[in-house]
Amino acid sequence: MTVKQLSLPELVDACAESAIPGVGLWREPVRSHGLAATAKLVRDAGLTVTTLCRGGFLTAADPAGRAEALADNRRAVDEAAALGTDTLVLVSGGLPPGSKDLRGARERIADALAELGPYAESHGVRLAVEPLHPMFAADRCVVSTLAQALDLAERFPAHQVGVTVDTYHLWWDDTAPEQIARAGAGGRLHIFQLADWITPLPEGVLNGRGQIGDGAIDMREWTGYVEAAGYTGPIEVELFNEELWARDGREVLAQTARRFVEHVIR
Amino acid sequence: MTVKQLSLPELVDACAESAIPGVGLWREPVRSHGLAATAKLVRDAGLTVTTLCRGGFLTAADPAGRAEALADNRRAVDEAAALGTDTLVLVSGGLPPGSKDLRGARERIADALAELGPYAESHGVRLAVEPLHPMFAADRCVVSTLAQALDLAERFPAHQVGVTVDTYHLWWDDTAPEQIARAGAGGRLHIFQLADWITPLPEGVLNGRGQIGDGAIDMREWTGYVEAAGYTGPIEVELFNEELWARDGREVLAQTARRFVEHVIR
């Protein structure tokens, strides 16, 4: 998504140019390019698919909406397996229209994980519940902190359900470092993502993530937390940003790789 | 601020019309109308000043910025005392430009409270540290949760430093109810404020608060939490909303009073 202006073949080429060994894919471009074709494309290029984004949206209260969400998440698991990644990121979903019941919505996510966890396991895929910044609690994700995500995940085996740690969503939380340690100790730190926090936030707040180094987050500090928790997996950079999307995608990817070296690698 | 389109004399009249017994004032309109004149206006009308908003912005790292902030906060204490309110709300301040050091900024707030607490006490004023929604952590307030606010406040006597509980800032946090109990048990729940959460958030996210009942927050639930914590003080409704500001202020105030009865009073 950082360079969604690139087609998948362009992305694969650009990753090779910048010596980027892995990529997190989103379902929509994969569907557009074709699942089998995408799997072949990345496999032939020797590019690792780090995660598939995203499943989730599991908070519907009506039986039809619920069944539809579960079916869609099973398809997402199938797609992750076909792409050769072991991790499906879950954005859990917001409040149903008119609802004020955060607790109920969070409980419905647990119910859904109970059904999806074994299905994912049988396909060699782990679910990675992502806490989203509290500003998304109403309309996108009622799981707002890493503690909440772990409270959900820990009801299930670690190889079925873990968490996503994204600096953009967690940087303000002084309890997040100890929760990262908790995630690591439990074998539930499934993926680590970076984005910087810049202001002012744009209308709707979704597409205002900052390039690494442009904002308020100390990337080395957070990388240190996941390393101390034993994390040795890939580090994704996930930027939703209208200005970056308006630029040349190869240039943005190359800049992102340089920023990663400058702000993350010690 | 809910009806900042009204002059202070208009506001006082409108409160009487809607049987609103108290009002939280902001420093800027008080300064415009004159401190002594405002104090006389509300006193003559029999209107209680529930709080003065706001002191704070205590995170400057440079000595000059720091001294200026402390001087301004002493003036805010003086103004609160002159207006006859015992509570000064503090918005603690964001990160200094270019800083990524949340922890350091939070520590400087504690340093400032150590100087301001005794000064406030000697004027019969309590400081009420307000945790602001995490989306304001970089540019407005590095105190993002009620737990953080209480961790700060509890370093000082309760009659010097307590907290502000605002539904808008805390509604997403599943640990807030227990923190409200902690605040009540410690005698630190100094003021309770209401605003509803509506989406999409506007650019800059500051002026997107919803009228009571329009959003995702169950006002009775949160009023129940503060009541269970022993809170018997005033309940303020604090809406920053461009659409509400564009309407007739008396009508907005009357609507707010009706919504309060409908969504808060059992």
Q: What is the pLDDT of residues A207-265, one digit of tens each?
A: 999 999 999 999 999 999 999 999 999 999 999 999 999 999 999 999 999 999 999 98
Chain B neighbors of A138, CB-CB under 8 A: 197, 199, 215-216
Contact A205 B135 (CB under 8 A): yes
Of B27, B17, B21, the closest CA to residue B42 belongs to B21
Report CB contact under 8 Å: B100, A201: no
Q: Which of B203, B216, B221 sits opposite A95 (nearest CB)?
A: B216
| pLDDT tens by residue, B77-119 | 999 999 999 999 999 999 999 999 999 999 999 999 999 999 9
Q: What's the pLDDT tens digit per position in A125-183?
A: 999 999 999 999 999 999 999 999 999 999 999 999 999 999 999 999 999 999 999 99
Contact B77, B116 (CB under 8 A): yes
Give CA–CA dist A219/B266, Å, rounded: 48
pLDDT score for B61: 96
Q: How far apart are CA B11 and CA A67, in angstroms?
A: 52
Predicted pLDDT at B109: 98
What domains appear along chain A, each with residue ranges and CATH number? 8-263 (3.20.20.150)
Task: Give the strand pairing for A22-26 and A48-56.
Answer: parallel
User: ω before A200 within 30° of 0 (cis)?
Assistant: yes
Inter-CA distances, B265 with A26, B17, B219, Å: 47, 19, 9
Q: For the residues A60-85, what does the mean pLDDT come to?
A: 98
Average pLDDT over residues A91-108: 97
Percent of chain B at pLDDT above 70?
100
Query: What residues of chain A have any CB closer than 8 angstroms to a CB in chain B?
Result: 95, 99-103, 106, 133-135, 137-139, 142, 144-145, 147-148, 171-175, 197, 199-205, 215-218, 221
Q: How many Å apart are CA B209 and CA B1, to the nearest integer?
A: 11
In whole angstroms, how large is the CA radius of gyration of chain B?
17
Give me the mean pLDDT over the A69-76 stretch: 98
Give chain A positions within 8 Å (CB) of B104.
Answer: none
Nearest residue to A196 via CA among A238, A149, A251: A238
Cross-chain residue pair A135–B135, CB shorter than 8 Å = yes
Whole-number pLDDT of residue B266: 66
| pLDDT at site B159 | 96
Which of A141, A174, A223, A264 to mutate against chain B (most B CBs within 10 Å)?
Answer: A174
pLDDT of residue A261: 96
B88–chain A nearest CA distance, Å? 25
Which residues of chain B, if any, have pLDDT below 50?
none
pLDDT digits (tens, 9 = 90+) for A111-136: 999 999 999 999 999 999 999 999 99
Q: Which of B100, B133, B139 is opposite residue A199, by nearest beta carbon? A: B139
Rounded to the nearest 10 degrees, the angle between the axes of helix B176-185 and helix B219-228 is: 30
Separation CA A122–CA A163 (nearest Å): 19
Pairwise CB contact (< 8 Å): B102 & A172: yes
State the burial class of residue B209 (Cβ atoms within 10 Å of its Cβ: 0-12, 13-18, 19+): buried
To the nearest whole number, what is the mean pLDDT of chain A?
97
| Mean pLDDT taken over chain B | 97
pLDDT > 90: percent of chain A: 99
| Rounded CA separation B266/B259 (Å) | 12
Do strands B87-91 and B126-129 pair parallel, antiparallel, or not at all (unpaired)?
parallel
Q: Which residues are CB-neighbours of B106 under 8 A, at least 6 positions away?
A: A174, B92, B142, B143, B148, B152
Q: What is the pLDDT of residue A266?
A: 66
CA gap B35, B23 in Å, rounded: 15
Residue A48 sits at φ, ψ, to 5 deg, of -80, 135
Query: Whole-angstrom Cα distance, residue B51 to residue B125?
Result: 10
Are B200 and A204 a contacting pair at CB < 8 A? yes
